[in-house]
Amino acid sequence: MMLKKYISAGLVAVLLAGCSFAPGYQQPSLPVPEKLPAYGQDGQQPPASPQDVETAALSWDRFFTDPTLQRLIATALENNRDLRQSALTVESYQAQYRIQRSALLPSVSASPYISRQRTFSGGNDVDIEIAAFTVGITAYELDFFGRVRSLKDDSLEQYLAMAETHRGARISLVAEVARAYLTLLADRELLAVTEATFRNEEESYAMVAARAKEGIASQIELAQARTSLESARANLAQYRRQVEQDANNLVLLAGTKEGLQFDREGLQTLRPMTELPSQLSSQVLLQRPDIIAAEHSLKAANASIGAARAAFFPTITLTANAGYLSADLGNMFSDGSQTWLFSPNITVPIFTAGRLRAQLDVAELRKEKSVAAYEKAIQSAFREVADALVARQTYGDQLQAREASLAANQEYYDLARQRYQEGVDSYLTMLDAQRSLYAARQAYVTTRLAMLANQVDLYKALGGGWQDKS
């Protein structure tokens, strides 16, 4: 058939259309130092080891070793609604890419047509029948100058950027669940500390009340004991509320309450997270989802320049069809009823009042903006990792100091209580010791939470590991 001939000619033209005006892509250089900062026990930078590089590629289920936390993260990745919306957004970008990609190939359609009409002429009824069947291509653009291909590349890079954004959302969700779980355990531990403090306050109040009844303690001391007791009662209600709210937050992140168990009572029983590397090259930042997404956006802007440049050249479209046309349906496929149409169209831009030049300027500015965004993403990533690395060592020192402070405050409280019972010191000294011990216990738990959360932040800042299997 003639149709096959024209379709073949069109496909050959497409294959021969290898011209593209998109500029060659060059990855911008890293606008940060070559090495990420690292801190050893003495503040010096230790040399990187092969194990460090391997550790940097850990997936979340190897980094977070606690079984309960692993189940929480797995549940969240499956049921979290925000992540589900992100996945659907990626699918919509993929569909948009498929739409743009389809423009590279002609659309072939079939058009059957039958018409019957009866008219009255010269006193007689006349039946008119027209039957037609055509298969053809309508307004297919021959992409000689790469405009359609550049638009396809632009759409592809936007889809890939959104896919990386979704991967970043998964890593953020993993970190958010881990942080929420750590916060729950810390608040449970603080609740236990507050319950113990409340019991001590009850005992102290009972002791002061007994001494006041015997005339040994004053009414001022009794009022001070009552004030301290009610303050502890208020703190107890606060931490009970926070524990329940922490659990509700975890349920929201997980997307379901079914099968969730929070059986640990504090941070002390949590299985430790895998240690991350002491030193890495800044090149690892290029594996972060946000940086990869920024690079895809840069490539998309690069492709849009090719489309804008191609718009200065003629647009060639092709309309062609072939088929059968007959005044009798029964004889439609007989010899002599064939019909065909071949209609190429060339549109040459002559005067556009600067519109094409402005479109090219917009595309080039979009690229420059994308370069700046890509470099800023790298600089922000470097700072996040550097801050987390600095904090890793200082949190260890801070926790040791908190532990020593807790031991000193415990000794202070024991001595103050003993001396008050013996009548050596006033109740005010014992009250100060109680408050100091409670504050020291709170500070220790809070610092330990911050140190563990820092490990989560560092894992997220490194992009969750570029072999992430989540």
Asked if 39 and 396 touch (Cβ cutoff 8 Å), the reply is no
Rounded Cα distance between 188 and 349, Å, is 72
**Would you list the domain boundaries of the chain?**
31-104+143-313+349-388
Q: Residue 399's pLDDT is what?
A: 92
Does the domain made of 31-104+143-313+349-388 have the CATH classification 1.20.1600.10? Answer: yes
Question: Which residues of the chain fall short of a pLDDT of 70?
Answer: 1-19, 34-35, 38-58, 113, 115-129, 131, 133, 259, 264, 276-280, 323-337, 465-470
Asked if 181 and 73 touch (Cβ cutoff 8 Å), the reply is no
Rounded Cα distance between 387 and 176, Å, is 18
**Complete edge-to-edge strand list for the sheet that includes strand 338-347:** 108-121, 124-142, 315-326, 338-347
Asked if 236 and 194 touch (Cβ cutoff 8 Å), the reply is yes
Q: Residue 6's pLDDT is what?
A: 41
Rounded Cα distance between 430 and 418, Å, is 9
Q: Residue 207's pLDDT is what?
A: 86
Nearest C-alpha neighbor of 19 from the set 184, 177, 142, 201: 142
Q: With H, G, I as helix, E, B as strand and everything else as coil, classify residue 133.
A: strand
Hunting for tokens 């090219």 — which residue is that?
A: 360
Nearest C-alpha neighbor of 202 from the set 451, 28, 434: 434
Q: Residue 122's pLDDT is what?
A: 60
Q: Residue 49's pLDDT is what?
A: 45
CA angle (178, 180, 184) in 5-degree steps: 115
DSSP string, 299-364: HHHHHHHHHHHHTTS-EEEEEEEEEEEESSGGGTTSTT-EEEEEEEEEE-----TTHHHHHHHHHH
CA torsion 287→293→295→296, rounded to 10°? 130
For residue 119, what are the CA distances in angstroms to 48, 109, 132, 318, 326? 94, 32, 21, 38, 19
378-407: pLDDT as tens digits: 889 888 888 888 888 789 889 999 999 999
Nearest C-alpha neighbor of 63 from the set 169, 164, 167, 175: 175
pTM, two decimals, is: 0.80
Greatest Cα pair distance, the chain, in angstroms, is 136
Asked if 315 and 347 touch (Cβ cutoff 8 Å), the reply is yes
